[in-house]
Amino acid sequence: CLELLYILQGNHCKLLKLLICLFSSEKFEVLGPTDSIVAVAGDDIILPCYLKPNISAEDMTVDWLNLDFLDSRVFRYQNHRIIREDQILFYSGRTSLYEEELWRGNTSLKLTRVQGTDEGRYKCLIQSKSWYDDFTVQVLVKAVGSKPVVSIEGHREGGMGLLCESEGWHPEPELVWLDSKGVHLSAGLPETHRDLDGFYTVKRHVIVQETDTNRFTCRVQQSRINEKMETEIHLPILVPNPVVDV
């Protein structure tokens, strides 16, 4: 529009052309949810995004980006087709648009089989030939891991060695050892591993001494998602093969 203004001669022609350009521009807003989206691992989720007014996005470029990655491309729709190049590898085959609803400005992203690495800040960026806008939404991933597995490592200096392990958590959980009264035991440092899908495995050693009950509990908890799992072990006196209560 601005280039055409210089071609036209006379102030009145310039003003008229400027008004035509302003009123014919494809101005729009990109909108989405104000609250974070909490996704349960393994489920499919929708990341809402739409244009206001509800104009067609069929001739626009639709980008979904994960801002927590350097190479941030999650999904791209451009020139009436899906662009696969430069997509973050672990999103391959798990993302799609509702292409049949692009005509009314629905640019929401469907993400299937949610995994831990999907957590992050997602930007929905829409570009036409003359305008662009974007919206960012936070995705939080929730995964409750396995029931803790307690194993006996045998006699150690100062008592009996125990090991507790639990896997499949997100976010990273806390593992604590408790006595029969619920008092925290002094234990070794927790060992945490994160797999390729972003889920956490945690384990922790402890050396316990004989008590009046010989009952000890391993508890794995994650306060953000308000979840916990625990397993109690009983070490009977003079019994060589202790039994784990499940």
- pLDDT tens digits, residue range 156-209? 888 999 999 999 999 999 999 999 999 999 999 999 999 999 999 999 999 999
Query: Is residue 179 classed exposed, middle or buried when 0-12, 13-18 and 19+ CB atoms within 10 A define those classes?
Result: middle
pLDDT at 35 over 50: yes
Predicted pLDDT of residue 244: 56
Predicted pLDDT of residue 14: 43
The overall average pLDDT reported for the chain is 88
Predicted pLDDT of residue 16: 41
Beta strand 29-31 with 50-52 is: antiparallel
| Cβ neighbours of 16 (radius 10 Å) | 12
Domains 26-142 and 149-245 belong to one CATH topology: yes
212 Cβ contact list (under 8 Å, min separation 6): 180
- Please tell me the total number of residues recorded for the chain in this structure: 246
**So what CATH class is 149-245?**
mainly beta
Predicted pLDDT of residue 71: 82
Please list the residues that pair with 81 across neighbouring strands: 78
CATH placement of domain 26-142 = 2.60.40.10
Domain range summary for the chain, segments of one domain joined by +: 26-142, 149-245
What pLDDT, in 10s, does the model give residues 107-118? 999 999 999 999
